[in-house]
Structure 1
Amino acid sequence: MKEGRILLKFIRRPECISYLLKKRFTNLSNNQFVRSALTMLSGTVIAQIIAMAFSPVISRIYGPEAFGVFGVFTSIVASVGPVAALTYPIAIVLPKEDSEANALFRLSLLVSLITFLLMALTITFYGNSILAILQVDVLMPYLMFIPLMVLFDGSFQASQQWMIRKKKFKFSAKAAILQGIVVNVTKAVIGFFFPLSISLVAITTLGKGLYASLLAYGTGITFNLKLFAESFNKKELLSFIRLGKKYYDFPIYRTPQVFINGASEGLPVIMLSIFFGPATAGFYSLSKKVLVMPTQLIEQSVGNVFYPRVTEAAYNGENITKLLIKASLSLAALGLIPFGIVILFGPQLFSIVFGANWASAGEYARWLSLWSYFKFITKPSIKTLPVLKAQRFHLVFTIFSILVRLCALIIGSYIFKSDVISVALYGTTGAIMYIILTLVTILKSTPKYTRYL
């Protein structure tokens, strides 16, 4: 009791509280993980602030229909782009030796180029038929931008993962800021003269190319025709085959999972465009874009730093479960306010910020915020799954998840014939699936399960 009274008296003194806070802040600032996360976060924050600052201008220039067509384009790219290199770039962080990581980097670029060539040939001969099957004829003028975007995306992923491996977070932050400035200023300026979908598509594609080039330069790896030609000699190809077999779980399990997950996120745009028209797809696209901003504001930076950290923890035999829970709870606290505000005041906020024509997007955003919030929290779990060698589970779970969300979307469209109900059902089921994924990943990270790895 005496010790308790002394402690209570101690903490009631303002100077004591100040001392404790200062000590805690000093400990955090000296933590390498925290410093790296803040460095990555600074670039993402500034890039997202730039995008948010230009969004009200760009939304008023182009309008819902232009955004709808652009949304369909980005939905298809979001499905194919992340698997351009068969997700081999994600493995770049894992090897202990840089020589093996460098080989994975070159393998990723080679696979991206092959994917680009195959897609370009397919679109040349069968593009019209594919669009007819998908019922997205509005993309006819923009078909050849898709393989180009995929090539840039694959190169970007490989360079980004190499930068993460080498902990070049400052350069990555600067590249994100520069790309954000160039793309958004260009969209606004070009939009005054050509407020068309083609402007959004072309600028976004070239912006991804700029981003990939900046990161490729930052890797410090020399690129020349001689080095590229060496990737096709027999010895090098055999080494690529051996490396591909070693990391077989990425193309076999992670690639389908990433593709399905990307398709599931783009599917609502395509379906809403088919059932309710391009303007409705535009409302959904803007609401999703606005919600992605606060999500990427932190999750991408923390996730990129958390991935090598949890990999290192696994090698050193540290408590992965504790690390995972702590990261998930931190993101839960950080995301509560921004997502909560959108849930409460979505339509009013969108009308004020983007104009009265975008009130429907705010209604969509209410339901998508619920889904996005739990997706935000799940980021550390998704980064932990490759370390736990649970990519097969991730693939199966993703397939099940997309089937559940697809059923919800179909029920809203066919039975209720309401775009708002469709989005509400889609968002709610998505939130539930992400909660389950987080809980299962935490369970799999416990020593009871990891000792069998």
Structure 2
Amino acid sequence: MRKLNKLLENQFAKNILMVTSGTAFAQVFTIAMSPIITRIYTPEEYGILSVYASLLLLLSIGASLDYQKAIPIAKDNSSANNLIVGSFVILLTFFVLFTLVISLWGDQLLYLLKSESLISYKYLISLGILFIGGYNILLHWALRVKDFNVVTKTKVTQSVLSNISKIGLGLLGIGSLGLVLGQIIGQSSGIFKLSAPIIRERRNFIKTIKLNEIKKQLVRYIKFPLYSAPSNYVYTAGDQAPIIFLTFLFGTSTAGLYGLANSIISLPISLLAISVSQVFYSEVASIGNNNFKKIKKLSMELSKKLALIALIPLLIFVTFGPLLFSLVFGSYWYEAGVYAQILAFVAYAHFVILPSGRIFEVIERQNISLVLNIFRLLLIFLVFICSHFLNFSPIETIILYTIVSTLSYLIMFIVVQRVLSQYS
């Protein structure tokens, strides 16, 4: 038994190494291309991309009602196959309805959100939702079968195509549209690779699909749309709130500076955390609900290692942030480096704690996650309300946001460990 456990732990480490190596390459490539991109586009144009990406993430979170997250924990492949189809049906329905809404009232809604700069690109929001949603559904099938090789390749493909597209379209002089289109091209790449195994086995796949079984699985995992989807909406709203509120309070230039700072500090920290989180979710899903003690042990060991790994980028950004941004991106991005100094603490907490947060989904206690995320969002809203009425500067606002966000991540980690202790 000990040998088996050791083997599983070794394989877990190998899977993490595989996915994070692909992510690392993607990050290095993105960092290498960033100085070129920031010299082609202005902060205002980058601000439009930041607002677009924020709205897109918020809208796409529940486009398939989070049923895709049930795919790795389904009891067998037949159930998982029906969940895939059910998720795509919901996604396509959402896409059609949203496109209709954006056609009729898109301009008014974007004006209301102080995002009128996106009016020309409103249909690209719908397209982006479709691509992100499709990728996420297929990604969770790959996590179920532990096809981390394909997952790794898609991450590399997305980074390369996205950055090259942004540079190429920028050189054509089409402005912020080049950034938005580059973002969409990056999001859509990888879908074919992820779907290839299903396409090859399409006959066997189709045989397992039944309308009654789709309905059965959607009912069985109803907690995902009831709790997980709202929880993720709330969580993402908290992540994207700074971009939206900074645009509202200080304009697109400040949002652009924040957007670059946040995206750069997220490259070595948050994106690696997402890769580790995906492997961790796959591993915990295979353990199931019958060994909470092992899940807790795995969670604690992983968090300790991540805390040590993340110290290096944290110290680099805190010590040299403004200098690095000025040298790499140009002198007018100095303030973005100051933002990065502050935001590095949020990224550090995100990196260490994010994988453990997914435990709620595996043990189907998404209601706890929803409560925690609502609490976090309320605190973040309070930050920007205080900023508005107290006339805080952008830097003062970001400092307060950093304190609140970091504390919220710590609270979530404590709650996760206590819940696991109760079940152990």
Q: Can you give the 5+ residue segments of structure 2 that lack an aligned partner in the other structure?
A: 1-5
Question: SS of the residue aligned with 1:366?
Answer: helix
Aligned-partner residue type, residue 416 of structure 2:
T
Aligned match for 1:216, one of 167, 192, 195: 195
The answer for the alignment partner of 1:118 in structure 2 is 97
Matched with 1:22 is none
Residue 128 of structure 1 is matched in structure 2 by 107
Amino acid at match of 1:410: I
Matched residues in 1 for 2:149 and 2:296: separation? 29
Partner of 2:129: 150
Q: 1:315 offset after TM fit, Å?
A: 4.5
Q: Which residue of 1 aligns with 2:373?
A: 398
Alignment of 1:72-111 (within 5 A): 72-111=51-90
Task: Report the CA distance shift for 1:85/1:311 in structure 2 as closer, same or farther (over 3 A).
Answer: same
Amino acid at match of 1:179: Q
Alignment of 1:247 with 2:226, yes or no, is: no
Match of 1:18 in 2: none
**Aligned pair partner of 1:369 in 344, 349, 362:** 344
| DSSP 3-state at the match of 1:376 | helix
- Paired with 1:222 and 1:281, the residues of 2 have a C-alpha distance of 46
**Which stretches of structure 1, 4 residues or longer, exceed 4 Å deviation after superposition?**
27-30, 218-224
Secondary structure of the residue aligned to 1:319 is: helix
* Contact 1:347–1:362 (Cα < 8 Å) also in 2: yes
CA apart distance, 1:219: 4.5
Q: Distance in 1 between matches of 2:302 and 2:9?
A: 18
1:29, distance to aligned residue in structure 2 (A): 11
**Distance across 2 between alignment mates of 1:420 and 1:158:** 38
TM-score normalised by L of structure 2: 0.93
The answer as to whether partners of 2:45 and 2:176 remain within 8 angstroms in 1 is yes
Alignment-derived partner of residue 3 in structure 2: none
How far apart, in 1, do the equivalents of 2:392 and 2:120 lie? 30
SS of the aligned residue for 2:362 comes to: coil
Could you list the per-position Cα deviations for residues 4-27 of structure 1 after superposition, in whole angstroms to 9, with x for gaps in the alignment?
xxxxxxxxxxxxxxxxxxxxxxx8
Instruction: After TM superposition, give the deviation of residue 171 of structure 1 in Å.
Output: 1.6
Given the superposition, is the C-alpha separation of residues 227 and 334 from structure 1 closer, same or farther in structure 2, using an over 3 Å criterion? Answer: same
Cα offsets for 1:273-295 (capped at 9, x unmatched)? 12111111100100110011112
Q: Determine if contact 1:311/1:387 at 8 Å carries over to the other structure.
A: yes
The letter for the 1-side match of 2:401 is Y
Question: Is the Cα–Cα contact under 8 Å of residues 163 and 218 in structure 1 kept in the other structure?
Answer: no
- Deviation of 1:241 (Å): 2.2
Q: Which string of whole-angstrom CA distances, capped at 9 and with x for unpartnered residues, describes residues 7-63 of structure 1? A: xxxxxxxxxxxxxxxxxxxx8998111111111112111111111110111011102
Find out whether 1:271 has 2:250 as its counterpart. Answer: no
CA distance in 1, matches of 2:376, 2:274: 22
Higher Rg of the two aligned structures: 1
User: Aligned to 1:207, what secondary structure does the other structure show?
Assistant: helix
Over the aligned positions, Cα root-mean-square deviation in angstroms equals 2.1
What is the deviation of 1:272?
A: 1.1
In the other structure, the counterpart of 1:172 is: 151
CA distance in 2, matches of 1:265, 1:315: 30
Of 301, 320, 324, 1:326 maps to 301
Matched residue, 1:139: 118
Q: TM-score, normalised by structure 1?
A: 0.88
2:323 is the alignment partner of 1:344: no
Change in 2 beyond 3 A, CA 1:223/1:210: farther
Percent of aligned positions that are identical: 31
- 1:218 is displaced (CA, Å) by 4.7
Distance 1:95 1:78 in 2: 26
Alignment check: 8 A CA contact 1:120 1:147 kept? yes
Match of 2:28 among 49, 54, 59: 49
Determine the C-alpha separation between the residues in 2 that align with 1:410 and 1:49: 37
Q: Partners in 2 of 1:346 and 1:252 — Cα distance?
A: 41
Q: Which residue in the other structure is 2:258 paired with? A: 284
**Alpha-carbon separation, structure 1, partners of 2:69 and 2:392:** 40
Counterpart for residue 5 of structure 1:
none
